[in-house]
Amino acid sequence: MNKHIYSVSSLTHEIKTLLETSFPRLWVEGEISNYKAHSSGHIYFTLKDENAQIRCAMWCFKAGELLFRLEDGLKVVAEADLQVYEKTGSYQLIIQQMQPAGIGALQLAFEQLKKKLHAEGLFDEAHKKALPEFPERIGVITSPTGAAVRDIISVIGRRFPAAQIILYPVRVQGEGAAEEISKAIQDFNEYREIDVLIVGRGGGSLEDLWAFNEEKVARAIYASQIPIISAVGHEVDFSISDFVADRRAATPSAAAEMVVADRKELSGILAYFQEKMIQNILQQIKNYRNELQNLKKSYAFRRPEDLIFQKMQRLDEISRLLVSEINHRLTLQQQNLTSRQQQLRSLNPLEILRRGYSICYRDGQVIKDIRQLQMLDVVQIKLSKGQFLSQVQMLGEGS
């Protein structure tokens, strides 16, 4: 009996051919585990359920089409081709497309991005900027042919026609829309002549509104130095842009009402304040008139000459007091001067001579002691009136 012996390679190849031809493209549901993303862009993971598991691979050009982020524990439904990897003799699924099980891919991507940006602080109220009260230039980023731009122009023109609207036309859905919206926000910030921005579009499905759920749009809004109002879809629609923007408007028309005041309301407010101001002025005039009447009835205005006479009388009293004080001070000074003169006269040596005393000099020196003289010395005698010379004839000591 002849035995057919397979080589490992040939047997594996037979199995590969049998399996791959027996199982056309199929759909399989399971939970992702052992997820790995290679630097090449390819991704590898395992799909498992309660009783089994199978290895999977998804090439980079397919992985790049995913709208949501893969992670361990995520349940998915995948369209795949069954393939045998001959080198290891194992079989695997080559994933062509994938969607979350029980929830749409877009909705999952929305929730994942919302959670990520919230954790980074892009939704924080502290970062949100206040809207200008009376903007002069309003930038609008939307489709130039949609109903949104017509509604915005109509509402602003009706409420505050002095405001200038600058439209930056962009695609608001489809491929490239998110890039155009992000660039428009960046261009307006570089332009720097805009007071506030309205970014949005009319309502639609989640797919239609998806450009406003893109991460690049969210980060452009967050980085903007110009306050931004997000006006995407209808009142029930929420986008990532709504959470990041400084203000969220339910509709484009609501954004237009939010960004400018109503001139009729402003006119009413101005009229109210004008009336209040006139009333206040009239009341002040009335108060001043009453004060003037009271002054006219006062004693000073009824008899002004009495007030003048009283002041004159007081002036006379002060004048008399001043003269009296001056005379008193002069008398005291005169008495003081007389006393000093008497003191000076009592100290004058001539006064002593008048009482019969004399001064004896020799050679210009006053003789105070007899021992300063010798016999026959000539001395000068000064009297109260006149002087004479004398010669010493006798010397003697005595008290």
Summarised one tens digit per residue, pLDDT across range 316-330 is 889 999 999 999 999
- Residue 302 above 80 pLDDT? no
73 phi, psi to nearest 5 deg: 95, -10
So what's the pLDDT on residue 65? 81
- Does the residue 157 lie in any domain? yes
Please classify residue 177 by burial: count the beta carbons closer than 10 Å to its beta carbon, then call 0-12 exposed, 13-18 middle and 19+ buried: buried
Which has more pLDDT, 153 or 354? 153
Q: What is the mean pLDDT of residues 152-173?
A: 92
| For the chain, percent of residues with pLDDT exceeding 90 | 33
So what's the pLDDT on residue 169? 94
Summarised one tens digit per residue, pLDDT across range 380-393 is 888 878 888 888 88
**Residue 45: closest CA among 34, 59, 60, 53:** 34
Which has more pLDDT, 235 or 73? 73
Which domain covers residue 50, as residue numbers? 8-102
Beta strands in 49-111 (DSSP E): 53-58, 75-85, 90-100
So what's the pLDDT on residue 2? 67
So what's the pLDDT on residue 102? 64
195 confidence band (pLDDT: 50, 70, 90) = very high
Q: What is the mean pLDDT of residues 102-121?
A: 80
**Residue 178: closest CA among 154, 146, 212:** 212
Residues 151 and 39 placed together within one structural domain of the fold: no
So what's the pLDDT on residue 256? 93
So what's the pLDDT on residue 7? 75
CB burial string 80-91: b at 16+ within 10 A, e below? bebbbeeeeeeb
Residue labelled with tokens 């006119």: 267
- Does the residue 97 lie in any domain? yes
220 confidence band (pLDDT: 50, 70, 90) = very high
Q: What is the mean pLDDT of residues 348-377?
A: 80
Helix (H, G, I), strand (E, B) or coil at 169: strand
Q: What is the mean pLDDT of residues 156-167?
A: 91
Dist CA 385 CA 47 (whole Å): 154
Report the CATH number at residue 238.
3.40.50.261
- Does the residue 270 lie in any domain? no
Residues 121 and 252 placed together within one structural domain of the fold: yes
Summarised one tens digit per residue, pLDDT across range 47-59 is 888 888 889 999 9
Residue ending a domain, among 102, 123, 154, is: 102
* Distance from chain centroid for Cα 128: 13
**Residue 199: closest CA among 169, 154, 156, 237:** 169
Q: What is the mean pLDDT of residues 146-161?
A: 91
Dist CA 321 CA 315 (whole Å): 10
Dist CA 56 CA 77 (whole Å): 13
DSSP state of 303: -
Q: What is the mean pLDDT of residues 133-149?
A: 92
- Does the residue 297 lie in any domain? no
207 confidence band (pLDDT: 50, 70, 90) = confident
Residue ending a domain, among 40, 69, 102, is: 102
Q: What is the mean pLDDT of residues 259-284?
A: 88
- Residue 119 above 60 pLDDT? yes
Dist CA 72 CA 70 (whole Å): 7
236 confidence band (pLDDT: 50, 70, 90) = low
Dist CA 360 CA 149 (whole Å): 134
- Residue 353 above 80 pLDDT? no
Note the helical H segments in the chain.
Answer: 8-22, 60-63, 105-120, 147-159, 177-191, 215-223, 240-244, 252-259, 263-297, 299-302, 304-347, 349-354
Residue labelled with tokens 């005039």: 285
Report the CATH number at residue 75.
2.40.50.140
Residues 91 and 136 placed together within one structural domain of the fold: no
- Does the residue 281 lie in any domain? no
- Residue 60 above 80 pLDDT? yes
Which has more pLDDT, 304 or 281? 281
Structurally, how many domains does the chain consist of?
3
Residue ending a domain, among 79, 102, 125, is: 102
Q: What is the mean pLDDT of residues 212-220?
A: 92
**Are β-strands 359-362 and 378-382 bridged in parallel, bridged antiparallel, or unpaired?**
antiparallel
pTM over 0.75: no
Q: Taking a C-beta distance cutoff of 8 angstroms, is the pair 195, 214 a contact?
A: no
pLDDT, mean over the chain: 86
- Does the residue 319 lie in any domain? no
Q: Rg (Cα) of the chain, in Å, rounded?
A: 59
In order, the DSSP letters of 348-382 are -HHHHHHTT--EEEETTEE--SGGG--TT-EEEEE
Dist CA 382 CA 379 (whole Å): 10
Lowest-confidence segment of 30-34, 59-63, 73-77, 220-224 by average pLDDT: 73-77
**Residue 206: closest CA among 171, 239, 252:** 239
CB burial string 288-309: b at 16+ within 10 A, e below? eeeeeeeeeeeeeeeeeeeeee
